[in-house]
Each structure stands twice: as structure tokens, then as C-alpha cells.
Amino acid sequence: MQLTRRSVCGLFLATTLPGISEAKLFIPTADLWALWDLADQSNDAVIDHSAWQALLDTYLATQDPSGIHRFDYSGAKESGQADLRAYIDRLASLDPRQYNRREQLAYWINLYNALTIDVVLQKYPVKSIRDVYGGIIRLGPWNRVLVEIAGHPLTLNDIEHRILRPIYADPRIHYSLNCASLGCPNLAAQAYTGRNVDALLSQGGRAYVNHPRGASFVNGRLSLSKIYYWFAEDFGDDEAGVIGHVASFADPELAMWLRNYAGPVRYAYDWRLNAP
């Protein structure tokens, strides 16, 4: 992790103020790595994600009464870790820049989610992903190099903030990336592909917004996920823009409440592991 003045200040505050580890001090801005901003739009080749689909079919439970998809880390640790590593290694052997944009988008999303599961499995059992390489202030694994693509070492933060967010500039990206936590958007039951990626992004947005952890009213006060606080610039910059974005994915009744709301907003997030 490169220590900028901003991150050094954040580290100091994290050791002195309770809860500061979730503040914007630790949220990277979208900062394009130009070397990844290349694509071959004439290439219609398809990247095979069937191995990831098989893992999702085996270890992801989508019928929990809470509405949150739960991943069986215990079962995957026992019998699925080798298959997961083989899938990650297969993706790492490719250069995504040789594919078209839609294939690239599916590639990066699936790789991010597979790496997240893998890094949790390496340290499982844990209560939260923030306990994985977390240290005293529980910064989690996001700045740790986990994979090398085309000769370039990458972290989870690199994939999210230096590739996906700046290249695609699509707020729906946040609904596709799962951080192994109850407060996070669901890990999709389908592997992303070039063909289904747009539909799955919108599906993920609707599912998250219309679940209480995305947006809800408690005693007349609006509660939103901290994702909308951390990444407000992606959703509309100011709070009104964020609420407008959320309303665009909300079911009619929730959308009506959102569009007529002018009160304070509470932001919440649950970092507990999304295990059964």
C-alpha cells in the first residue's frame, strides 16, 4: 500500500477514533490506469466462466429468508478451493485487453469476486473480511497484491478503482462486486459473461436497492447503505443525486417515498461475513 498524506492521516485517525476505519479517508478515488484502457472491439471471442458457475452452483445459497445470498466457505474450504484457484489461474493466463469491452467487464467482475472468495478461504474461519490481513485497524485485504495479469501485479482496489470504475463509469458496477459481507450487494448466482453483463448489472441494482440493506425507511427516516456515502461521486455526487439514483432502481412505493424525502439520511453497513 502506497502511503499518501491522505492515507497516513487516515491511519493515525484510525488508531485514535472509533469507527474511523469506515470513513472516506480509506476509500480510493477512481484513478484510471491507462494501460488497461485498451480493447479489441472486433474480437468476438468468449471467455469461459463455466468453472466459476460450477462453484456458484455448488456453494452459493440464494434462498435464505433474509434475501442475502450466503456463501458456504466451510464447504468450499474443504472441497472447492483447488477448483477456485484453477479458475483464477486460468483468468490470470489471459490478457483481457485482447477482448472486447463487454467480455472485459465480465472478466474483471468475475475475477474480483473469485479473488474475494479465495482470500477469505485462505484465512477461514474469520468473522469478517476485514479480519483477513487486517492488522490492528482492520483494513482488510484490498491493498494486497493477489494476482498478476499480463505481467502486472494487481490488488482488489486496483481492479475496482483503477480499472472498473474509471473505464466503465457505470454506478451499477458497485452492485456487481461482492466483498463477502452481509451489507454488500449479493454475490450473483450467475457468472457474468459478455452476453449477460448488462442485464445482471441492472438486476443487481434492483435487488440491492429494494432490500433493506440498500435503502429503507425506519420511523420515517431514510437509511441507505454506506456504499452510497463512500462512492457518492459515482451515484450523483451530492445526496440529492444519490437519492435520485436509488429511486431509479426502486419499486414504485419506495421510489415515491424517496422522491418526496427531504430529511436526514442515516448510512449503515454490516461487515459480518456472508456465510450461512
Work out the pLDDT band at 202, boundaries 50, 70, 90: very high
* Residue 158 shares a structural domain with residue 226: no
* Residue 97 shares a structural domain with residue 196: yes
Is 167 a domain residue?
yes
If you search the block for the grid coordinates 502486472, which residue do you land on? 152
* Residue 67 shares a structural domain with residue 152: yes
Work out the pLDDT band at 138, boundaries 50, 70, 90: confident
Is 52 a domain residue?
yes
* Residue 187 shares a structural domain with residue 223: no
Cα 140 vs. chain centroid, distance in angstroms?
14
Q: How many domains does the chain have?
A: 2
What DSSP element (H or E) covers 215? strand 215-218
Around Cβ 175, how many Cβ atoms within 10 Å?
A: 25
* Residue 135 shares a structural domain with residue 198: yes
3-state SS class at 99? coil
Q: d(Cα 179, Cα 174) in Å, to the nearest integer?
A: 10
Cα 113 vs. chain centroid, distance in angstroms?
7
* Residue 57 shares a structural domain with residue 181: yes
Is 137 a residue whose pLDDT tops 70? Answer: no
Work out the pLDDT band at 237, boundaries 50, 70, 90: confident
Name the domain boundary from 182, 203, 224. Answer: 203
Q: Which whole number is the average pLDDT over 47-67?
A: 98
Q: Which domain holds residue 153?
A: 29-203
Q: Which residue has the higher pLDDT, 95 or 12?
A: 95
Cis before residue 141, ω within 30 degrees of 0?
no
Q: 101-123 and 197-209 are packed helices; what angle lies between their axes, rounded to 10 degrees?
A: 50
If you search the block for the grid coordinates 502506497, which residue do you land on? 2
Looking at residue 3, its amino acid is L
* Residue 90 shares a structural domain with residue 180: yes
* Residue 60 shares a structural domain with residue 125: yes
Name the domain boundary from 159, 181, 203. Answer: 203
Name the domain boundary from 151, 182, 203. Answer: 203
Q: d(Cα 45, Cα 104) in Å, to the nearest integer?
A: 11
pLDDT more than 70, % of the chain: 89
The per-residue DSSP string of 255-268 comes to: HHHHHT--S-EEEE
* Residue 89 shares a structural domain with residue 153: yes
* Residue 157 shares a structural domain with residue 253: no
Per DSSP bridges, beta strands 221-225 and 215-218 are: antiparallel
Work out the pLDDT band at 87, boundaries 50, 70, 90: very high
Is 23 a domain residue?
no
Is 229 a domain residue?
yes
3-state SS class at 250? coil
Is 18 a domain residue?
no
Q: What per-residue confidence (pLDDT) applies to 1?
A: 36
Is 14 a domain residue?
no
Looking at residue 177, its amino acid is L
Is 10 a residue whose pLDDT tops 90? Answer: no
* Residue 150 shares a structural domain with residue 61: yes
User: Pick from 272, 20, 229: which is nearest to 136 by CA?
Assistant: 20
Q: Is the pTM of this model over 0.85?
A: yes
CB contact at 8 A, 185 and 207:
yes
Is 22 a domain residue?
no
Query: For 160-211, what is the HEC assignment?
Result: HHHHHHHHHCCHHHHHCCCCCECCCCCCCCCCCCCCCHHHHHHHHHHHHHCC
* Residue 149 shares a structural domain with residue 183: yes
Is 163 a domain residue?
yes
